[in-house]
Amino acid sequence: MTQQRVVVRPVADRPSVSRSPRPRLTMTRRQALWCYVFIAPAVLGLLLFSLGPMIASLGLSFTSYDMLTSPIWTGTENYGALFADPIFRKSLGVTLIYGVVSVPATLVIALVLAILLNAKLPGLKFFRSAYYLPSVISGVAVAMVWKWMFNGEYGLVNAALAKVGLQGPAWLTDEQWALRALIFMSLWGFGGTMLIYLAGLQGVPKELYEAARVDGASTFRQHLHVTVPMLSTVTLFNLVMGIINSLQVFAEPFVLTQGGPNNSTLLLSVYLYQNAFEYLKMGYASAIAWVAFAIILVLTLLVFRSTPMWVHTATEDDR
């Protein structure tokens, strides 16, 4: 089947080793066939586990389906219901606050630490590993540790606050504080972002700092006017990935609070889980997934659209 579709490539540009064109044609054809064999797992994976389910979930989002009876086509009913659903609107708001605070805060912490760690220092390897360490610990283990850290009566957070004379709240069981605790905990995972910044810092030409220093710029201003713009493509990458991740965070809120108290930490992925696997509302859950996906697409597009204003693309005269 594939054989008939293979395009016969012009052989004129090939070095003219004296061979008849026939075996050469079969050579390219053979190579193409083998190429399809080699990329077959990836193509199948793409169809079976990415594109296929993606289209299927879009289709499902227009149905009512409980996995017991056949799906019923309901048109845009799920989407209408979603936006009338106060819990969904709350969940959307919670996710938005989580993302808007957690992502930029992570970027700032990661960048500052990357700058501090980008120098010849005694104990450098230790510091880099230590700062990255929390990021390899699983979401569940992280959530278990912080659940205990945030314990209102015996937790370390409130013990530390008591040391400076403050009475800490009950954090995870207090509607006012649970989301803040979750966001605070999320900052613990800045390690990956920090390492990406560190890698990016290796590519910033040293001469730029020299030039800034000659102009009398302080260290802070050097970083503000050299490091930050030079790393803007890295920031772009980290920002887009941060947005995608914050709409996917699941283990931490699920283990820490199960979305409570009073849905104050109900991130979209947790609400999706509840609908799909607790209430078996597969169509509704798919609609939630697609709204989240649409938000990611719009935000990513906005970020890319805004890049001319803040992303500095390397040109020849940077070198």
9-48 positions binding another protein, by CB under 8 A? 28, 31-46, 48
If the CB atoms of residues 37 and 224 are measured against another protein, the closer one turns out to be: 37
Of 245-304, binders to another protein (CB under 8 A) are 247-248, 250-251, 254-255, 268-269, 272-273, 276-277, 282, 285-286, 289-290, 292-293, 296, 300
* 3-state secondary structure at position 288: helix
Smallest distance from another protein to CB 5, Å: 7
Smallest distance from another protein to CB 144, Å: 4
Smallest distance from another protein to CB 276, Å: 6
Smallest distance from another protein to CB 29, Å: 9
Smallest distance from another protein to CB 238, Å: 7
Binding footprint of another protein, residue count (CB under 8 A)? 101
Could you tell me the CA-to-CA distances from 54 to 48, 50, 59, 137, 296 in Å, in that order?
A: 10, 6, 9, 30, 15
Q: Does 138 bind another protein (CB under 8 A)?
A: yes
Smallest distance from another protein to CB 138, Å: 4
Report the C-alpha gap between 29 and 4 in whole angstroms.
Answer: 10
Report the C-alpha gap between 186 and 267 in whole angstroms.
Answer: 13
Q: Which of 87, 101, 144, 204 binds another protein (CB under 8 A)?
A: 144
Q: Does 164 bind another protein (CB under 8 A)?
A: no
Closest CA to 256 of 242, 270, 268: 270
Three-state SS across 193-251? HHHHHHHHHCCCCHHHHHHHHHCCCCHHHHHHHHHHHHCHHHHHHHHHHHHHHHCCCCH
If the CB atoms of residues 34 and 310 are measured against another protein, the closer one turns out to be: 34
If the CB atoms of residues 84 and 119 are measured against another protein, the closer one turns out to be: 119
Task: State both tokens at 243.
Answer: 């947005």
Looking at the chain, list the stretches that DSSP marks H as alpha helix, in order from N- to C-terminal side. Answer: 2-5, 21-45, 52-60, 77-84, 86-117, 124-132, 139-149, 156-163, 178-186, 191-201, 206-214, 219-222, 228-230, 232-246, 251-256, 268-273, 282-310
**DSSP class of residue 9?**
P
Of 49-68, binders to another protein (CB under 8 A) are 49-54, 56-57, 60, 67
Q: Does 307 bind another protein (CB under 8 A)?
A: no
Q: Applying CB under 8 A, which part among 1-9, 94-102, 208-216, 305-313 lies near another protein?
A: 1-9
CB 110 within 8 A of CB 238: yes
**DSSP class of residue 69?**
S
Of 177-216, binders to another protein (CB under 8 A) are 188, 192, 195-200, 203
Q: Binding string, 115-134, against another protein, x = CB under 8 A?
A: -xx-x-xxx---xxxxxxxx
